[in-house]
């Protein structure tokens, strides 16, 4: 199953006119890796930067006093990565060079050369009497001849074919780089969401411990609890604050990696508008769950850009081999010649010239090209085997994690953890001690941390599937594209 037909090969190398139109700058062939609906009509815009409102700080710890905010969903992050990543922009510049090489190879070698030689009157010069014919002594002579080179073995046809196949290979390599960019952007986006969830969880825990410490101090002041209980509350509050700071540093690191991938300046604050819990993780097999994984993975990798590039590389080697065989036939140079002798006789004739292949017959170059063809064929074959194993492993790992996450989500409650609110209420009413509150909080914290760990494993497995199979992102991950309630409405691509 060729997921990337030849008709989708782009005129790659488009320019990026403005930062506010990064999604429109994504090359057409690259859009296959992300949701097509994100690029429909005039709505195919990168989420615009907006003035940062006063009040609560931005969710981006790195932003500081940034004047602009960039709201990112998964689809808009992928679109910006495809349009703005410096490595991709540089790589796309190879396409115009390869197109120019096709023009050079297709240009015919119709450049005749002309040679002329003039010999003035010799010495001694013997003048003729008036009316007498030329004596032949001391007369000047010259010749003029033109030559044109003819490639009798049609070498230009092979050069053109090799250049066109090389252009196709460059385009497939660009698509492969775009696929890797999409997979890496997906990993970094979900890593940032994961670290954001840990940061929010640690911050909520720190706030809760501060509230518990305040309640415990008031209870001790009212002689409702022993003073020794304050020590445990103080240690828990201090530890949770430190953990919140460490989580903040980890979130900053994840955002910095995402900034570098998407080429977002530090002057712009990043707001991630989605939560991993809101994502829908789709089965790779679809409705055909009984399909053989090995055959399905082998079918998927047929359309991987790197496999297609290796296949085109075989055709490049075939064209070079044909050119090497054609080069064994010497070129023919022919053209007219006009010459005068020193006795005034004029000659008009035809001149032929060619090399005689005695020592350099071109067979050595043909053997080299044949070896290169065999090497390319072996590379393509082994790459298909490797890609098939990668796809099979990625799909198997993703399906196992996805099924476990689905089963866990069905078993656990979808609402907020009411146990912590209940034990906190009992503590404030004096019906529970602080140790019970801390133990309940730690258990719930570990449970939420486990859920986040499971989701990040699922997200990373999904990114591996996208990279290994070249499936579009919306065939694996269904992004909500909606802002979280704390962030308010944002302008997002239509999803």
Q: Supply the CATH number for residue 430's domain.
A: 1.20.1600.10
Q: Pick the range with the lowest mean pLDDT from 63-72, 127-136, 210-219.
A: 127-136
CB 330 within 8 A of CB 356: yes
Buried/exposed code over 183-208 (b: 16+ C-beta within 10 A; e: otherwise): bbbbbbbbbbbbbbbbbbbbbbbbeb
For Cα atoms 325, 331, 332, give the angle at the middle one, nearest 5 degrees: 145
**Residues 86 and 117 grouped into a single domain:** no
What is the bridge-based pairing of β-strands 280-281 and 141-150? unpaired
**Residues 263 and 287 grouped into a single domain:** yes
**Residues 149 and 214 grouped into a single domain:** no
What's the pTM?
Answer: 0.76
Query: 224-248: per-residue pLDDT in tens?
Result: 667 777 777 788 788 889 989 999 9
* Average predicted confidence (pLDDT) for the chain: 78
Specify if 255 maps to a domain. yes
Specify if 456 maps to a domain. yes
Specify if 360 maps to a domain. no
**Residues 96 and 122 grouped into a single domain:** no
Tell me which DSSP letter residue 302 carries: T
**Residues 98 and 131 grouped into a single domain:** no
**Residues 480 and 429 grouped into a single domain:** yes
Specify if 161 maps to a domain. no
CA distance 192 to 257: 9
Residue 420 has pLDDT above 80, yes or no: no
Tokens of 412: 């656990």
- What is the phi/psi pair of residue 115, to 5°? -130, 135
CA distance 311 to 56: 55
Per-residue confidence band for 493, with pLDDT thresholds at 50, 70 and 90: very low
Torsion of CA 210, 213, 219, 223, to 10 degrees: -160
Specify if 93 maps to a domain. yes
Number of domains forming the structure of the chain = 2
**Residues 83 and 128 grouped into a single domain:** no
Residue 66 has pLDDT above 60, yes or no: no
**Residues 140 and 229 grouped into a single domain:** no
Distances in Å between the Cα of 322 and the Cα atoms of 283, 302, 317, 325 are 46, 27, 9, 5
Residues 395-409: what's their mean pLDDT?
90
pLDDT at 22: 41
**Residues 195 and 293 grouped into a single domain:** yes
Residue 491 has pLDDT above 60, yes or no: no
Query: 140-195: per-residue pLDDT in tens?
Result: 677 898 998 888 888 899 999 999 999 999 999 999 999 999 999 999 999 999 99
Distances in Å between the Cα of 5 and the Cα atoms of 207, 270, 383 are 55, 36, 19
Specify if 460 maps to a domain. yes
CA distance 459 to 195: 13
**Residues 227 and 335 grouped into a single domain:** no
Helices 228-262 and 74-84: crossing angle, nearest 10°?
A: 40
**Residues 238 and 297 grouped into a single domain:** yes
**Structural domain of 338:** 113-154+329-354
Q: Which of 400, 396, 408, 322 is CA-nearest to residue 366?
A: 322
């Amino acid at each position: 199953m060729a997921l990337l037909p030849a008709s989708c090969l782009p005129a790659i190398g488009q320019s990026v006119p403005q930062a506010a139109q990064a999604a429109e700058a994504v090359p057409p062939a690259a859009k296959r890796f992300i949701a097509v609906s994100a690029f429909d009509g005039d709505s195919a815009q990168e989420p615009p930067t907006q003035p940062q409102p006063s009040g609560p700080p931005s969710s981006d710890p790195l932003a500081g006093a940034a004047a602009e905010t960039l709201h990112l969903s998964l689809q808009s992050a992928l679109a910006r990565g495809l349009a703005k990543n410096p490595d991709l922009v540089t790589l796309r510049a190879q396409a115009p060079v390869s197109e120019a090489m096709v023009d050079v190879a297709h240009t015919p070698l119709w450049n005749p050369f002309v040679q002329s030689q003039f010999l003035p009157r010799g010495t001694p010069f013997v003048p003729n009497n008036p009316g007498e014919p030329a004596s032949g002594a001391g007369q000047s002579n010259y010749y003029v001849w033109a030559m044109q080179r003819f490639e009798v073995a049609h070498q230009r046809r092979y050069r053109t074919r090799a250049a066109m196949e090389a252009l196709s290979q460059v385009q497939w390599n660009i698509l492969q780089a775009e696929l890797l960019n999409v997979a890496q952007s997906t990993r970094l986006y979900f890593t940032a969401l994961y670290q954001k969830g840990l940061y929010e969880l640690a911050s909520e825990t720190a706030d809760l411990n501060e509230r518990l410490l305040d309640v415990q101090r008031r209870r001790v002041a009212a002689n409702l609890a022993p003073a020794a209980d304050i020590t445990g509350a103080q240690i828990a509050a201090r530890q949770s604050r430190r953990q919140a700071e460490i989580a903040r540093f980890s979130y900053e690191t994840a955002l910095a990696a995402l900034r570098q991938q998407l080429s977002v300046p530090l002057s712009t604050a990043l707001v991630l508008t989605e939560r991993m819990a809101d994502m829908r993780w789709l089965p790779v097999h679809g409705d055909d769950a009984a399909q053989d994984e090995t055959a399905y993975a082998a079918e998927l990798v047929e359309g991987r850009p790197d496999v297609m590039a290796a296949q085109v590389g075989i055709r490049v080697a075939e064209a070079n081999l044909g050119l090497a065989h054609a080069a064994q036939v010497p070129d023919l140079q022919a053209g007219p010649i006009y010459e005068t002798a020193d006795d005034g006789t004029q000659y008009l004739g035809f001149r032929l010239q060619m090399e005689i292949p005695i020592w350099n017959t071109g067979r050595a170059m043909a053997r080299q090209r044949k070896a290169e063809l065999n090497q390319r064929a072996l590379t393509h074959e082994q790459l298909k085997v490797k890609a098939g194993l990668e796809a099979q492993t990625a799909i198997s790992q993703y399906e196992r994690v996805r099924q476990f996450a689905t089963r866990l989500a069905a078993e656990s409650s979808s609402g907020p953890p009411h146990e912590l609110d209940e034990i906190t209420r009992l503590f404030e009413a004096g019906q529970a001690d602080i140790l019970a509150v801390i133990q309940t909080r730690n258990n719930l914290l570990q449970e939420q941390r486990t859920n986040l760990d499971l989701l990040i494993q699922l997200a990373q497995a999904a990114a591996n599937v996208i990279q290994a199979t070249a499936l579009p992102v919306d065939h694996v991950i269904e992004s909500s594209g909606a802002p979280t309630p704390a962030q308010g409405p944002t302008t997002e691509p239509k999803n």
